Chains A and B, each alone.
Chain A
């Protein structure tokens, strides 16, 4: 017997809604748990004071600075490099052996576990290049880790811009590079931003890579050549050795708020950029 399309639709919608509800529910549970457990212990002094007494006392100011610096370095490297790669793949070449190789490399890199990036960064940046445990070593290693995410999302975003936009620009005398910058990139920004935001998220949450390459110094870093501890590492150390669960969750809560602020800023910037481009 054939089921009427309307019935199928009702069943499908129901299933989709259930899936959405459980996915969102699970995620809300995680955030809610951390915020509920952590925000109680967050205060102004917690945000501004140095880490004292193995993390049981004082605040997490050095970890906040460390996190921001690390994100700045890693995204500052990975975003331009990744977007440039995506432009090459989507706009400057056609499918062939070379793109297949590059794409394969990107896919594999996406699957390389973070611990391997950590060991790689430890040997290459910390030891061979002599950068030591530093924000720079950490940022470079993290950049390598988030590169595939940025490339894949940026490439998808570029490809989703209608071909006709490119034709129009070219027929008006745009060079290849102008076609990209004037009639493709502006419309791919939302998608590219998704990738960058996911990349920021991964940089912020990563622990294994950071411990091996940026170290976990408790002092506030004053330059990219100093060792630094990120909030994720701080949480990990506090929770791992069972030092202070309160401060661990408070750190995680601050971490979530930081991501919230970064993401909101990014979205606001994007909307400002896109205003006037969309139909009213």
Chain B
């Protein structure tokens, strides 16, 4: 597999909720090990796009999807083992959702769904993923206490560690820092940059500055249409579409 092939190819993707369209014939590629930032005002279809990428949309009865999404050249719609797909394409939600169990159990929750793991293997995974998500130093002494005692920012990084623990190739972020303070936000962004060495990441965000900070490329969605996708620098300095310029300079949205 050469690096020139895209990791994900989205082709003519249309998503309907009942009769209401959320995404309208969108096509674009996601490259290996890049961070693609997706920006756009509310109801532009950003979150629906993410849910389509790991087929979480199939859990919503009234949603229907047409078009195709290729992961490493394979249409994910034809993948039979949807659980395996979701392990390959992980997801971090907007609200930090720590499950009501200990920190350790939270991190290992995903792997334990697949197989039983031994203590020392678990310890290794817990440490490495918590280090990757920049949480290890803060919680290493209380791994067996309830995760609900953590702050919002810590919980969100725990969620990232939990996602990392199942070994995803792609990580989807749905406005991961919308509820976090600047310091926690910085830590999450730092973690994302470090993860670039092995992961392809897609970041949906409401915060255009965040997109500018961490995105290699940025896509701008508006009312279910893809207006523009290009290098982040270009989007924020010389966008080709006037609507993009208006949005990134804060004129609307």
Contacts and interface: CB of A to CB of B under 8 A. Distances in A.
Interface in B49-85: 54, 56, 59, 61, 83-84
Contact of A279 (B84, B86, B149): B149
Contact of A173 (B83, B102, B146, B148): B83
Contacts of A47: none
Query: Which of the four size classes fits the interface of chain A?
Result: 20 to 34
Contacts of A278: 100, 146, 148
Contacts of B110: 172-174
A172 B171 CA distance: 11
A277 B87 CA distance: 25
A172 B86 contact: yes
B148 A168 contact: no
A174 B93 contact: no
Interface in A167-223: 167-175, 178, 182-183, 187
B54 A171 contact: yes
Contacts of A166: 59
Contact of A183 (B83, B84, B99): B99
A178 B114 CA distance: 10
Contacts of A164: 93, 95, 97
Given A174-B110, A178-B113, A187-B100, 16 more contacts: A164-B97, A165-B99, A167-B93, A170-B56, A171-B54, A171-B56, A171-B86, A171-B93, A172-B109, A173-B110, A173-B114, A182-B109, A182-B113, A276-B146, A278-B100, A280-B149
A169 B93 contact: no
Contacts of A175: 83, 113
A94 B100 CA distance: 27
B162 A279 contact: no
Interface in A240-280: 276-280
A165 B93 CA distance: 11
Contacts of A187: 100
Given A165-B99, A277-B101, A278-B146, A172 B113 contact: yes
